[in-house]
A and B are shown apart, each in its own frame.
Chain A
Amino acid sequence: MAATTTLAPAPAPAAPASAADSARLRRPTITAVLTWIVAGLFAAVLLSVLISVIISALSTSWGGGWLPAGYTFSWFRQAWDTPGLAQSIEVTFEVAIADVAIALLLGVPAGYVLARKKFPGRNAIILFALLPVILPPLTYAVQLAALMYRLGIGGTLLSVILVNLVPILPLVILITVPFVEQISPDVEHAAKVFGADNLRLFSRVLVPLLTPGIVAAGVLSLVRVLGSFELTFFVSGANTETLVVKIFGALSDPGGPPPALTAAMTVFYMAIALIGLLISLRFANPAQTLARPTHRTP
């Protein structure tokens, strides 16, 4: 990208092209208009789906009209007092923090080696890391849960942390690789010439340079682990349910709590997830998780 920007201010031939561009910006094409209408519709449906949950959590009762009959905050109080809710929030945070920490600790060094070294079996390892990210959790969630119960740790906090590590660790590795590739090996050679041993090279040179990558990997995996449902669902016990699993339980139980109460529980979850999302957008470009970045380092 840097190369393009330095090449872009080429003198004469670039000028008419950019003039044509701005002309096109002023006169949008039919396809562009159609695209934005569809996008607007999509955003409208999506946002009204999400907002309706919030309104529902604030409503005294909501029959068939556009808006509820009255508003109240009492559902939040009641949701907070629901047995196990506070605990499920605690579990959610414990699992998220433990998984992100383990994934960074193991994944960043692995990503470093994969980016720097060519060795036999490298492609196999990359493919091997790609599979848990691409395959939907339900392809392996049940087998993993069966294994956890076989080992006698099914239903424990440990098992919830372990199963959620499966998609997170490879994600950290895959995000780290392009960030390492951007750091010139010359920097490392220079540090070695000046007498840095491996430990100092790592702590004084690599970690500071890799911070943007580490933060990106951390927040993107945090967002992913907060919303992870299937893996936790099959392995968690009564005391180790995360917030999402608890909400699913309430929603799928026909005799469960009233919708407004479940909605209030969901608003707690939305708040947590939204904070995670805002932090992640502040530090990272989410497209990086999915495609190879063609980006400038933040």
Chain B
Amino acid sequence: MTDMPALSGVPRRPLRHRLAERGVDWSLLLLAPAVAVIAALFLYPFIYGISISFQPQSGGGAFANYRNFFSDSYEAGSILKTLRLALPVALVSVGLAAPLAYQCRRDFRGRKMITLVVMLPITFGSILIAQGMPRVFSPYGWGNLLLKDIGLGPADLLYNYWGTFIAAVLTTLPLAFLMMMGFFGGIDRSLEHAAATLGAGRAARFRRIILPLAAPGILTAFMLALVESFAIFPSAILVGQPDNQTHVLTIPIYQAASQNSDYTQASAIAIVLTAIELLILGLVVFVRGRLFKGPATGGRG
């Protein structure tokens, strides 16, 4: 970037001017504090975590932490258990949220109310959801009382896979909804009108116009929902079965760090989690690049 040897024949201008032409000047200093903080508190801890994960507290060679994790089929099995939980959660959340977000893409009376309800679980967090769930889903809870009244058997939806599944959907669906509402709102109505004018029926308009334009948004929402639910933590403990059905990837991290105070082992598992998350994100970027890219708005001028 800073090519110091001046080209022969070209009159040599001050370095400051040459840098300014490329947009580098003093105003970039405004960026420095923020970048420094993110580097020190986000990037550096990652590097630090990688380095301590190779210095196992209990000895046994540089790779001992990773070997411990992957050779223990109970601990390593948590990756599969996480996938078995996160994939359906992301599918159900996006599947239910997409039609709703599509209905809500334009302003109407009551949209603010819907936004408020949807923001509740995001604001309160999964702990509060997990706290309220027993009263609704336990054998003596409202849900089962209702089921009994209409003559159906009790549903066992707490302290197992389904408890965590429900808690995860209750927090992930709103996220997916808000994200897709933003994306869908950007699809210009006039494109639909143009298709209608040209004789496309409702089904054809949906399939040929709306779906291709909405696909990147739906895909992004799905992948981010997957990323979120892959790191599900408090509800796996509070309303799940953390030693069996919901022994997800975050539980061994928590056990290593909080119960065994072995941060090197915890970092190793957290790095496995991060690698999976980055893999998912990389996949979105790859797939999105192959979808329709271009304006979702009608031509104007």
Cα distance, A39 to B103, chains bound together (Å): 11
Cβ contact within 8 Å between B238 and A47: no
Q: How far does the Cβ of B172 sit from chain A's closest Cβ, in whole Å?
A: 11
Q: Mark A269-298, 1 if CB is under 8 A from B, else 0.
A: 110011011001100011111111110000
Report B-chain residues with C-beta under 8 Å of the C-beta of A132: 38, 42
Cβ contact within 8 Å between A56 and B300: no
Cβ contact within 8 Å between A251 and B130: yes
Q: Is the C-beta of B75 less than 8 angstroms from some C-beta in chain A? A: no
Cα distance, A49 to B166, chains bound together (Å): 11
Question: Does more than half of chain B's interface fall in helix, strand or loop, or is it mixed?
Answer: helix
Q: How many of chain A's residues touch chain B, expressed as a range?
A: 35 or more
Q: Which of A63-98 contact B (CB under 8 A)?
A: 63-66
Q: Is the C-beta of A43 less than 8 angstroms from some C-beta in chain B? A: yes
Pick the contact of A248: B49, B234, B273, B274 (CB < 8 A): B234
Report A-chain residues with C-beta under 8 Å of the C-beta of B73: none
Report B-chain residues with C-beta under 8 Å of the C-beta of A129: 34, 38
Given contact pairs A46-B117, A146-B48, A52 touches B135 in the complex (Cβ within 8 A): yes
Cα distance, A145 to B117, chains bound together (Å): 34
Cβ contact within 8 Å between A135 and B115: no
Cα distance, A140 to B277, chains bound together (Å): 12
Cβ contact within 8 Å between B170 and A45: yes
Q: Is the C-beta of A162 less than 8 angstroms from some C-beta in chain B? A: yes
Q: Is the C-beta of B69 less than 8 angstroms from some C-beta in chain A? A: no
Cβ contact within 8 Å between A137 and B179: no
Q: Is the C-beta of B59 less than 8 angstroms from some C-beta in chain A? A: no
Pick the contact of A45: B37, B41, B136, B263 (CB < 8 A): B136
Report A-chain residues with C-beta under 8 Å of the C-beta of B198: none
Cβ contact within 8 Å between A136 and B42: no
Given contact pairs A234-B258, A244-B127, A273-B124, A39 touches B100 in the complex (Cβ within 8 A): yes
Q: Which of B169-197 contact A (CB under 8 A)?
A: 170, 173, 175, 178-179, 181-183, 185-186, 188-190, 193, 196-197
Smallest Cβ-Cβ distance to A143: which chain B residue = B49
Name which of B8-16, B20-28, B207-215 contacts chain A.
Answer: B20-28
* Residue count of chain B within 8 Å CB distance of chain A: 95
Q: Is the C-beta of B91 less than 8 angstroms from some C-beta in chain A? A: no
Specify which of B28, B31, B130 lies most central, judged by the most chain A CB atoms within 10 Å of its CB: B31
Cα distance, A234 to B233, chains bound together (Å): 12
Q: Is the C-beta of B94 less than 8 angstroms from some C-beta in chain A? A: no
Cβ contact within 8 Å between B196 and A17: yes
Report B-chain residues with C-beta under 8 Å of the C-beta of A134: 224, 227, 281
Smallest Cβ-Cβ distance to A32: which chain B residue = B103
Cβ contact within 8 Å between B231 and A147: no
Pick the contact of B45: A36, A109, A144, A262 (CB < 8 A): A144
Cβ contact within 8 Å between A56 and B135: yes
Q: How far does the Cβ of B293 sit from chain A's closest Cβ, in whole Å?
A: 15
Q: Is the C-beta of A139 less than 8 angstroms from some C-beta in chain B? A: yes
Specify which of A48, A55, A146, A294 lies most central, judged by the most chain B CB atoms within 10 Å of its CB: A146
Pick the contact of B49: A53, A106, A142 (CB < 8 A): A142
Cα distance, A188 to B238, chains bound together (Å): 53
Cα distance, A20 to B142, chains bound together (Å): 43
Q: Which of A156-186 contact B (CB under 8 A)?
A: 162-163, 165-166, 169-170, 173
Smallest Cβ-Cβ distance to A287: which chain B residue = B182
What is A's interface to B at a CB cutoff of 8 Å? Answer: 3-4, 7, 13, 17, 20, 29, 31-32, 34-36, 38-39, 42-43, 45-53, 55-56, 62-66, 106-107, 109-110, 112-114, 116-120, 122, 125, 128-129, 131-132, 134-147, 149-150, 162-163, 165-166, 169-170, 173, 223, 226-230, 234, 244, 247-248, 251-252, 262-263, 266, 269-270, 273-274, 276-277, 280-281, 285-294
Task: Supply 5 further A-B pairs (C-beta < 8 A) apart from A66-B145, A287-B181.
Answer: A129-B38, A138-B273, A247-B127, A270-B124, A291-B183
